[in-house]
Amino acid sequence: MDKKIEKHSNEECTQPSEHFNANNSLESSLKDAKIDFNRMIDATSTSTSEVLQEFIPTTEIKGMEDFIPESNYYAYYDQSSNSNVKIEREFDIDFPENLNVYSYEIGNNSSFESPKKGSTGVFNYYLMDGGSLLPVLALDLRPNTTFLDICAAPGGKSMLALQTLYPNIITSNDCSKSRVDRIYNVYKQFIFDFDEKFLKTGKVVLSQRDGRFIKNDTYDRILVDVPCTTDRHSLKENDNNIFKPSRIKERLKLPELQSELLFNALKLVNKGGIVVYSTCTLSPIQNDGVVHIVLKRICEESNMKIIIKDISPALLQARSLFKLASPKLMRYGHLVLPCSTQNFGPTYFCKLQRIE
């Protein structure tokens, strides 16, 4: 039976070009393709999550500025590569005598009551995720040390460091006035007589600087608790969620920002000093991946010598409170995993010591 093909009005049949090459790849074809700029979307002006770039293939995304795709970081983080970094195991972790921490037992998901003000006008305790305790303990704070919290807002980890009574000077830094104001408010709510007069004593220093570009300062201990995808927050709340399409470029640039903060902290810490890198995400790239990128950069660009401190043996005692990921899953750091009976985290942290 013969088949007839009808040609619709205003359409023309096109024949393959005589130069057509069936073996051309999609990538080579894209080099000569014309971009329809009318289809581009300014994600910053969208008000819903249902925008076109959610469905664009992830080969390339055209935007208003260049950024580094997350896939590039997976290429940098090659598990088979040898960074020649020494890893030392630690079998003990100090719990400061003056630091009091309270938690419900495993399986008890009760909530603590909101803190109340006492006779001195300050709140009686500070509520925070239990996983946030471990990065501060990993710093191994000692009497008369100088401590920098390079991304301190809202100030909970700086408060923990202060409550140990160990550091001689605590510098709580962040990159914007609004964030530094949040730190100030936390101190004022929980420390009696905290005001400008208190700040003049020099025990606590509030600093507004971009942590990537701090220079000429030196510290014995530095906490690099970086901005990240904040998985628990992103899961529970829509407001300010970094997974919003309007923040796609910000999210993809996070590992770059995180690695720059960690690299600069390792330059600022004194010889023999300790830097702890921490996040509240499960992302391998933002966790071990960033540490790997920085160690690689140190090897290529500086004379610094860094030791990774594997505190897995010391953390065995913490398993009565935290669910910790298997050390086999990570190369450099440690990870607190949320679960129904031990609902802390996620918290990743890695302890690094500069020896030269």
Enzyme catalytic residues:
280
**Is 94 annotated for ligand binding?**
no
The strand pair at 219-225 and 146-149 is best described as parallel
**Is 130 annotated for ligand binding?**
no
Q: Where are the beta strands (DSSP E) in the chain?
A: 86-89, 146-149, 169-174, 204-208, 219-225, 269-279, 306-310, 334-336, 347-354
Instruction: Mark out the alpha helices in the chain (DSSP H runs).
Output: 26-31, 70-76, 133-138, 156-163, 177-190, 196-200, 231-236, 248-252, 254-268, 290-301
- Tokens for 77? 């983080």
CB-count exposure of residue 89 (10 Å: 0-12, 13-18, 19+): exposed
Using alpha carbons only, what angle is made at residue 83 by residues 356 and 87, rounded to the nearest 5 degrees? 65
**Is 157 annotated for ligand binding?**
yes
Q: Is the dihedral of CA 65, 67, 69, 75 positive or negative?
A: positive
The two counts, helices (H) then strands (E), for the chain are: 10, 9
Centroid of chain to Cα 226: 4
**Is 299 annotated for ligand binding?**
no
Place of tokens 């080969």: 59
**Is 155 annotated for ligand binding?**
yes
**Is 151 annotated for ligand binding?**
yes
- Torsion angle of C-alpha atoms 331, 333, 338, 339, degrees rounded to 10: 50
**Is 153 annotated for ligand binding?**
yes
**57: cis peptide before it, omega within 30°?**
no
**Is 174 annotated for ligand binding?**
yes
**Is 228 annotated for ligand binding?**
no
Q: Which residues are annotated as a binding site for S-adenosyl-L-methionine?
A: 151-157, 174, 225
Q: Which residues are annotated as a binding site?
A: 151-157, 174, 225
